Structure 1
Amino acid sequence: MRESLRAGILEGRYPAEEQLPTEHDLTALYDVSRITVRRALHDLENEGLVQRLQGRGTFVRRPQVTQDLARLQSFGEAMRPLGHETSSRVLSVREVKPPQAVAQRLGLTMRTKVSEIRRVRHLNGAPVSLDVSYFATTLGRRLAKEDLASRDIFLILEHDYGLPLGHADLIIGSRLADEALATILGVPPGAAVLHVDRLTTDTEGRPLACEHLFNNGEAYQYHLQVARDVPKAPAAARKRGVSR
């Protein structure tokens, strides 16, 4: 029965967020014991295909979308080639005194105001990320006039402003969603969300944007392939055929 349920989920017979039949119904449907049903649901939960909510039942998880971190891309650049629809909802654009860490990363003093842009990023119509982006006010005022609901900031910087991007420095961790963030992302308060601290620079290494990205880890994940750089043994050791 486990394989049958797995196939039903992967083939779309059980759509995302739909409730599966109850344990009692599955027992009758597959003519198996309650222990067999629970073991199968437990295995599917470990695979990330379903979520079991106490007192409510078992629900099909939304499939996770993966973004490759090996390239510096905007949200839309990464998702659209995979066949996904993306959009943004701008919550606010304002000038604020920057948090200390933001001021340091942008090379500004805390007395210098910055432009703060808050957006909710949607993937196939569902909210998956809250992006809080900081820019120098000169740049932020230009961006405030743009259509940020349908256009990616990275593309605006490069194509419209002639500011080629160089690289980004990322720190990835987790945060517990407070009530406001939970409401935006559609997760329970206190749920763990992915937090990405990203500093993006131009090709000369000058900081352009400091961002805090809060992602719904249930629907969105990152992928990065890394190679192991094996240190060479000292010359004397290589001559003796000894490795350290």
Structure 2
Amino acid sequence: MVVAEKYPHGLDRLMGLAETLHEHGSVTNEVRTMGPVPAPAPVAERLRVPPGGDVLYIERLRRLNGLPLSLDLTYIPVDIGTALLGCDLENTDVFRLLESLTGRRLGHADITLEAVNADAHSAAVLQAPRGAAVLMLERLTHLADGRPVDLEFIRFRGDRITMSGLLHRSL
């Protein structure tokens, strides 16, 4: 059995994938779909946009050193997202673009991490067996003023990534 190298992804700092993995190689982005879509109810609620109102939807395949690593499904409020349409999402992290376009820093993100079975689409894009376990990271990122600006559902190949963080105990 050949075991491929797993790359560390920290859960204790808010960074884009290229920022997180820069010392392990080149992260590339293939933008598969991008454009305005009506916000599904759970997305509208989390991003605090009107139900059915438009959000910018971006689907990206992220590779590390040429190997498929993650499938990112991203939703951004359309008032901010429209400016991303002309940006270089193939070579620039969305976090850097959001800070640049809004003139404000990102503040914090709420994250949930769970193992899920790859659906047919995710498996095909990630070149993984259908039904294979993938790590699904749901991340809602806010500007420093608390406004939610980026809701992502990221499916990572579990055989290529390991998640870790530093937790402090407080009583």
Tell me whether the two structures share a fold, i.e. TM-score over 0.5: yes
**TM-score when normalising by structure 2:** 0.95
- Cα shift at 1:174: 2.0
**Residue in 1 aligned with 2:118?**
177
2:84 aligned with 1:143:
yes
User: In the TM superposition, what are the counterparts of 1:81-96 in structure 2 within 5 Å?
Assistant: 82-96=23-37
* 1:76 equivalent in structure 2: 18
SS state of the match for residue 86, structure 2?
coil
Please give the residue correspondences for 1:1-244 in structure 2 after superposition, counting only pairs within 5 Å: 58=1, 60-80=2-22, 82-229=23-170, 231=171
Larger radius of gyration: 1
Q: Identity over aligned residues, as a percent?
A: 33
**Residues of 1 paired with 2:28 and 2:3: CA distance?**
22
Structure having the larger proportion of residues in helix: 1
2:31–2:59: 8 Å Cα contact kept in structure 1?
A: yes
- Alignment check: 8 A CA contact 2:41 2:52 kept: no
After superposition, the CA RMSD in angstroms is 1.2
Structure 1 residue runs of 5 or longer lacking an equivalent are 1-57, 232-244
* Cα drift, residue 160 of structure 1: 4.6
Question: For 2:87, what is the secondary structure of its paired residue?
Answer: coil
Q: Is the 8 A contact 2:44 2:50 kept in 1?
A: yes
Offset of residue 124 of structure 1? 0.8
Structure with greater strand percent: 2
Paired residues, what number? 171
Q: Which has the higher contact order (CA 8 A, sep 6+)?
A: 2
Q: Which runs of 5+ in 2 are unaligned?
A: none
* Stretches of 4+ aligned residues off by more than 3 angstroms: none
Report the 3-state secondary structure (helix = DSSP H, G, I; strand = E; otherwise coil) of the residue aligned with 1:78: helix
- Contact preservation (8 Å) 2:12, 2:165: yes
Aligned mates of 2:10, 2:116 — CA distance in 1: 21
TM-score (norm 1): 0.67
- Distance in 2, matches of 1:157 and 1:163, equals 8
Matches of 2:102 and 2:143, distance apart in 1: 12
